[in-house]
Amino acid sequence: MNGLVLSLTDRQPRHVQSRAIAAVILQRERERDHVRRIRTTGNSVDVEYRDTPATLDAWYRAQPIKPGRISPRLVLTADEKHLYGLPASAKLVDLRRMGDQLDHWSVSVFPVLHGYVVGVKAPAGGGGVGVMWRKSYKASDYAMRLSVEHGFPIQERYA
Q: Examine the domain organization and report whether 75 and 145 are in the same domain.
A: yes
Average pLDDT, rounded, for the chain: 79
9 belongs to a structural domain: no
72 belongs to a structural domain: yes
Which residues pair with residue 133 across a beta bridge?
116
Q: How confident is the model at residue 8 (pLDDT cuts 50, 70, 90)?
A: low
Q: Which among 119, 86, 109, 121 has a CA at the least distance from the CA of 158? A: 109
Q: Examine the domain organization and report whether 32 and 94 are in the same domain.
A: no
Looking at residue 132, its pLDDT comes to 92
Q: What is the number of structural domains in the chain?
A: 2
Question: Model confidence over 12-22: pLDDT tens digits?
Answer: 788 877 888 88
Q: Examine the domain organization and report whether 56 and 77 are in the same domain.
A: yes
Which residues pair with residue 111 across a beta bridge?
116
Looking at residue 159, its pLDDT comes to 45
Average pLDDT over residues 42-65: 68
Looking at residue 54, its pLDDT comes to 77
As a dihedral over the C-alpha atoms of residue 49, residue 51, residue 55, residue 56, rounded to 10 degrees, the angle is: -60
Q: Which amino acid is at 56?
A: L
Q: Examine the domain organization and report whether 30 and 61 are in the same domain.
A: no
Looking at residue 87, its pLDDT comes to 87
Domain holding 89, by residue range, is: 52-156
CA distances from residue 63 to 24, 49, 60, 69 in whole angstroms, order as listed:
39, 15, 5, 12
* Residues 115 and 139: beta-carbon distance below 8 Å: yes
Q: Examine the domain organization and report whether 20 and 93 are in the same domain.
A: no
Question: Model confidence over 54-112: pLDDT tens digits?
Answer: 788 888 778 777 777 776 778 888 888 888 888 888 899 888 878 777 788 888 888 88
- CA–CA gap between residue 47 and residue 43 (Å, rounded): 7
The pTM is what? 0.61
